[in-house]
A = this chain, B = another copy of it.
């Protein structure tokens, strides 16, 4: 293991984090709030980051394991240091709470231990929401890293999602593809913020809601989430942009380069939209009696569906009060999650399609053992290795989910609460069912459970395997 190169990469990330804290400190100063929590956090983070960037690797070779460990290092170090403003603010209760909130922010989960959000200063809340925005960017870097990697398996997953350009055409080099993704991210965010201001939100609220929407995070600055704005137009803007940020960013690249036909023929996109329509219709049929007008019901259901499938977790309605069918469908949406190559979390629509097609392929093979049977996604052939890696992901996902749930049950809450909390954190959603519902918080859990859940958020965000690698002893041997 080339420790120095890993440390150096983490150092650069910490400097970016420190600069972002400085932006939040300006917001605190603008509202006449105490800037000291930020000053200390910036100093510590900045100095550590600077020292790490001073590391000079003996060799500049970057093997697969250095790449994985660097990614994990960033996703562990940045949330840890970014918890400092929360710690120095002093309103978060415990160190574990600060870390939970910060991890939840960077992984764009949006699960919170805060019971009274509005009691916090505006600067701290701005930073809290901004971690979503940075986390969303981080995921996009990760995406472009994977796109430009030589690992065939990952390329296939990406290519599978992008019907038009193959990975090498789309992303000849990491820098170029990162730039394209960032441009799309910033443009969509700008549009979202403008639309929100047009519906009457103040610039501050438009900014923080945009950060959470763009990163598909879900932290709000009001106790009642998006419902607290009592602004149906803003709700629809948020719903539409949650939907948009959970689409594979490759689609926007196609649209920007006017390859319309390829964009709309993406199988993942069509299935994703199909799931949204079907889930909205089914849940609406299940809950419509609870709402005075059909329009009201449809609005809340559509908002909830886009909020969950995009893994954002904003709420305008408390789905804890809906019937079991609606809740169980919401749990399925949590598992499915967004499109691959977006800022959203979950198993990903592309994987779900490949699982179902893979099972179909197996049935064909059972009937005709010697015939050639191929799985295609958007017309492109998916090889057996890719299908296997998708199955493996599912096996690992549920192994971890039931294991983590077992530890959480030591707190002795009901099964729906703990199980949905784990799935919600693994899929980076935020709210769950029962005691962690959309109008509740994660404050009830013990420190151990909060650590386990923070861990699940990072596992989900990095798609499990890089994190598991972190715990393999052989990775840490000096090479």
- On A, residues with C-beta under 8 Å from B are 64-65, 68, 151, 323-325, 327-329, 331-332, 335, 355-356, 358-359, 362-364, 366-367, 369, 384, 387-388, 390-392, 394-396, 398-399, 402, 405-406, 409-416, 418-420, 433-434, 465, 468-469, 472, 474-475
Contact = CB atoms under 8 A, between A and B. Distances in A.
B465 A362 contact: yes
Contacts of A335: 402
Contacts of A468: 359, 363
A64 B367 contact: yes
Nearest to A360: B472
A332 to B, nearest CB: 5
Contacts of A324: 409-415, 418
Contacts of A474: 364, 367
Contacts of A396: 359
Contact of A367 (B390, B405, B472): B472
Contact of A359 (B323, B328, B395, B418): B395
Contacts of A64: 366-367, 369
Given A328-B409, A392-B362, A475-B367, A415 B433 contact: yes
A122 to B, nearest CB: 38
Contacts of A416: 414-416
Given A362-B465, A465-B362, A415 B412 contact: no
A73 to B, nearest CB: 16
A412 B323 CA distance: 6
B328 A418 contact: yes
15 contacts: A64-B369, A65-B366, A65-B367, A324-B409, A324-B411, A325-B410, A332-B402, A358-B395, A359-B395, A363-B465, A363-B469, A364-B474, A367-B472, A388-B391, A394-B398
A399 B356 contact: yes
A469 B68 contact: no
A330 B70 CA distance: 38
Please indicate which of the listed interface residues A356, A366, A388 has the most CB atoms of chain B within 10 Å of its own CB.
A366
A332 B465 contact: no
Nearest to A416: B415
Nearest to A464: B359
Contact of A325 (B328, B329, B412): B412
Contacts of A356: 399
Closest 3 A/B residue pairs (Cβ): A391-B391, A324-B409, A328-B409
A475 to B, nearest CB: 6
Contacts of A405: 328
A323 B405 CA distance: 14
A395 B325 contact: no
